[in-house]
Amino acid sequence: MRNRLLWILLIGLVLALIVLVVRHNAGMVGSFTTQEFSSLAVDVAIAVFVGVMVLALFHERISRAFEAALLWTVIALILVVGYTYRAELQQVGDRILSELIPGRPVTRGLVVEIARGRAGDFSVGAQINGARVPMVLDSGASAVVLTQEAAKAAGLPLEVLHYDINVDTANGRTRAASVTIDRIAVGNIVERSVSALIAPPGQLKTSLLGMSFLNRLESWEVRGDKLVMRSYP
């Protein structure tokens, strides 16, 4: 059992070192410069050497001391690699979560991507005045349209609304109230003072991300199963 563990740790150590060496030959190791990488490698080597000597002197169990030192070396290298490629790992994690959680945006700078849902539409997890509001992309809607529940969560003044705007919905023609939303955020994209409509109670099941938001963007398009939105710098 001990020998098997030793071989596993040795293999892990070799693989981690190969990754670091390949990136080192390119002149950079993630966000580390060559000089920073060399300094870090020396520090790790010294720490492992001191650890082995201490364990050997105090426990007089060279075999176990070596295994323990090797284990901590592998852990240290994994932590270094994880920290070095934290941005890449975060993007991978975001993409995986966006596929598993409908509407979860994947952000890359000024670009936000959202995966198509199982029903064929694009669910969007938006933040309206700080409240999380599930929405559906609707390019046929001239404005952002909120349900009563979403408007209440966003802190909009429902008690003073006037439903005097004619709108066509899937349930037929109805009237909606006009409001201005202080802040709408989808991922890193943030738009302020966005005109919107609030549907009467029971007239809308899901809030709609319409053109009053989309027209604020530099661009937006559907690429296969991805909704890609880009904001202005």
Cβ atoms of residues 172 and 165 within 8 Å: no
In the chain the first and final C-alpha atoms are separated, in Å, by 57
Which residue bears the tokens 């952002």? Answer: 144
Report the distance separating Cα 10 and Cα 66, nearest Å.
Answer: 11
The band of 88, judged by pLDDT with boundaries at 50, 70 and 90, is low
pLDDT above 80: residue 47: no
Q: Give the percent of the chain with pLDDT over 90.
A: 36
Decide: residue 24, CB within 10 A, 0-12 exposed, 13-18 middle, 19+ buried. middle
Token pair belonging to 48: 């492992």
Chain-wide mean pLDDT for the chain? 75
Report the distance separating Cα 113 and Cα 98, nearest Å.
Answer: 9
pLDDT above 50: residue 45: yes
Cβ atoms of residues 106 and 95 within 8 Å: yes
* Better-predicted residue by pLDDT, 111 or 23: 111
Give per-residue pLDDT as tens, 105-129: 888 889 999 988 877 889 998 999 9
Q: Give the percent of the chain with pLDDT over 70.
A: 55
pLDDT of residue 105: 81
Q: Which residue type occupies 124?
A: V
